[in-house]
Chains A and B, each alone.
Chain A
């Protein structure tokens, strides 16, 4: 299957600082990537859809100024948590679909390894 790589896998930062998380598609190009958030012992919740060359689409209730998304190339999307606070501590996972399987949404989604963010 397709490979999606996320970095870093774990980060600890001080309250008030910003943290950047990278999501790369290693063996395919992705015009669209997805960012999810997972609280402990909970399911994955979609935060935003990252679109190459245009603005991201955020889910209701997600602060776009808090979670900045940049999809500057066909293989890289970044999520920056700005002015992080302890309540931003969570597990963040990115995803992309492999276009080589076909066009559109009826294709398999692949996920990065996830990033565990701890804000102290």
Chain B
């Protein structure tokens, strides 16, 4: 199955700073998602982005499918951005029937005032 690697594993930011989180995947994909897990464990959908660039407020994401990576940008970070960010891709890559998602190990972000 696909391998999903995220970097960095931990990140500490001063409030207001910008950051880039990276997700590398070992196979071609036609489905990639970014999530934010809040302190209560809830997974919040950030982006469904198999390719291209999307923006939502202070967050944006870019997936370069041909080079097998995706980036999540957080600008003007706030303390409420703290938590763990996961990317996930279909277990079988772009193969048929890849319903199940494989998650990376996550990036733990701490934004300090």
Interface residues of A (CB under 8 A from B): 1, 32, 34, 38, 42-46, 49, 91, 93, 95, 97, 104-111, 113-114, 116
Total count of chain B residues near the partner, CB < 8 A: 25
Choose one: B31, B40, B97, B106; the contact of A43 (CB below 8 Å). Answer: B106
Contact between B43 and A93 (Cβ–Cβ < 8 Å)?
Answer: yes
Map CB proximity to A onto B94-113 as digits: 1 under 8 Å, 0 otherwise. Answer: 00011111111110000000
Interface residues of B (CB under 8 A from A): 30-31, 33, 35, 40-43, 45, 48, 50, 86, 88, 90-91, 97-106
* Chain B residues within 8 Å of A91, by CB: 41
Given contacts A108-B33, A108-B48, contact A116 B41 (CB under 8 A): yes
CA distance in complex: A42, B86 (Å): 11
Contact between B41 and A113 (Cβ–Cβ < 8 Å)?
Answer: yes
Chain A contact residues: helix, strand, loop or mixed: strand
Please, which residue of chain B has its CB at the minimum distance from the CB of A95? Answer: B101
* Chain B residues within 8 Å of A43, by CB: 86, 103-106
Contact between B86 and A44 (Cβ–Cβ < 8 Å)?
Answer: yes
Given contacts A43-B105, A46-B101, A49-B99, contact A106 B45 (CB under 8 A): no
Q: List 8 A-B contacts (CB under 8 A).
A: A34-B99, A42-B105, A44-B86, A46-B100, A46-B101, A108-B33, A109-B88, A116-B41
Give the A-B pair count, Cβ closer than 8 A. Answer: 56
Contact between B41 and A93 (Cβ–Cβ < 8 Å)?
Answer: yes
Counting from the closest, the 7 A-B pairs by CB-CB distance are A111-B43, A108-B48, A114-B41, A105-B99, A44-B103, A43-B103, A43-B105
Choose one: B31, B100, B104, B106; the contact of A34 (CB below 8 Å). Answer: B100
Choose one: B31, B42, B100, B104; the contact of A114 (CB below 8 Å). Answer: B42
CA distance in complex: A104, B50 (Å): 15
